[in-house]
């Protein structure tokens, strides 16, 4: 039987091309964050730079997007992104992974957390007024089932936002020019990307699931993508730090991070670019 009430935080339920809008909408989650938060520094103090500067760009997009409650986060992970991006708590975060979702509880970014597969959401139909999924859908092999289930739990006309890499995420890799397809396949594997597709593919997926595409834009230039690519290798010391201390960054201070911030800031522009390697989508439940 489907649970009619959201689970509590203490008992996580477990079951098997266009420019972004700039209109502030009253009642939108985190709509004032743009003026008060330095997303790049906030991400850099907690994450390796190759993840931080991409997330900072994505955080900025949500500041002007309407997120009427209740809000549904599909693939909330450890909750770090939501804790920095939104001033208000998100109503529900859902994720199938046991470790990350319990870490999300510590960040306190959600009213309720659910440990469940996105294709088996324990909520009634038309429960949520809006939803989003930030850099998650590309990792899900059974993407059609997750999209269909997401559409089921959203109300009619509810907005659904998500961002994913596109084909240039792989075609613009610098080392592939020397090592060929083998390196491209390896990079796809280590980044666990099952879907790096163009908008026409996503339009078809969304339509099958019960969504209508409203808007999209490409962002994160090829040069930014190559900085991210090389960051995987230059970021090895951060991995060691994480294993030894549980933290990615030992000294999360302005003086320690100012040079890193100065370098990556030139690649962290939120402005849409025609040949961007990632795409942000705005869809609506039919």
Q: What is the tens place of the pLDDT at every residue in 174-209?
A: 999 999 999 999 999 999 999 999 999 999 999 999
Distances (CA, A) of 281 to 195, 212, 284: 14, 11, 10
- Give the residue carrying structure tokens 């038309």: 126
Decide if 2 is inside a domain. no
Flag whether 253 is in a domain.
yes
pTM of the model: 0.85
Nearest residue to 216 (alpha-carbon basis) of 66, 5, 21: 21
Supply angle C-alpha 90, 91, 94, rounded to 5: 90
CATH number assigned to the domain comprising residue 233: 3.40.50.150
260: three-class secondary structure by DSSP? helix
Q: Which regions of the chain are under pLDDT 50? A: 1-34, 248
Q: How far apart are CA 158 and CA 155, in angstroms?
A: 5
pLDDT at 118: 98
Whether residue 218 is contained in a domain is answered as yes
Residue 57 in any domain: the answer is: yes
Give domain status of residue 231, yes or no.
Answer: yes
Q: Is 227 contained in some domain?
A: yes
Q: Is residue 8 part of a domain?
A: no
Residue 6 resides in a domain: no
**Which residues constitute the domain of residue 91?**
13-285
> Number of structural domains, the chain?
1
Predicted confidence at residue 258, as pLDDT, reads 84
């Amino acid at each position: 039987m489907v649970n009619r009430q959201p689970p509590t935080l203490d008992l996580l339920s477990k079951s098997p091309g266009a420019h972004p809008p700039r209109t502030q909408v009253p009642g939108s989650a985190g709509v004032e964050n743009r003026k008060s938060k330095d997303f790049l520094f906030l991400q850099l103090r907690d994450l390796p730079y190759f993840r931080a500067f991409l997330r900072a760009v994505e955080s900025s997009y949500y500041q002007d997007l309407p997120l009427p409650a209740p809000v549904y986060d599909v693939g909330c992970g450890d909750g770090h992104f939501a804790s920095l991006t939104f001033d208000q708590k998100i109503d529900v975060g859902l994720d199938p992974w046991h470790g990350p979702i319990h870490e999300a509880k510590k960040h306190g970014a959600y009213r309720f957390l659910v440990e469940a597969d996105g294709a088996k959401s324990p909520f009634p139909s038309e429960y949520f007024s809006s939803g989003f999924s930030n850099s998650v859908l590309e990792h899900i092999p059974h993407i059609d089932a997750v999209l269909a289930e997401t559409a089921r739990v959203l109300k009619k006309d509810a907005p659904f936002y998500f961002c994913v890499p596109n084909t240039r995420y792989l075609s613009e890799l610098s080392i592939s020019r020397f090592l060929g397809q083998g390196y491209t396949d390896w990079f796809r594997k280590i980044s666990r990307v099952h879907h790096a597709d163009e908008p026409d593919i996503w339009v078809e997926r969304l339509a099958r699931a019960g969504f209508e595409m409203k808007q999209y834009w490409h962002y994160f230039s090829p040069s930014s993508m190559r900085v991210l690519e090389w960051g995987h290798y230059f970021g090895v010391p951060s991995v060691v730090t994480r294993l030894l201390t549980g933290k990615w960054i030992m000294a999360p201070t302005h003086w320690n991070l100012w040079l890193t911030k100065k370098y990556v800031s030139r690649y962290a522009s939120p402005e849409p670019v025609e040949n961007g390697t990632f795409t942000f989508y705005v869809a609506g439940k039919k």
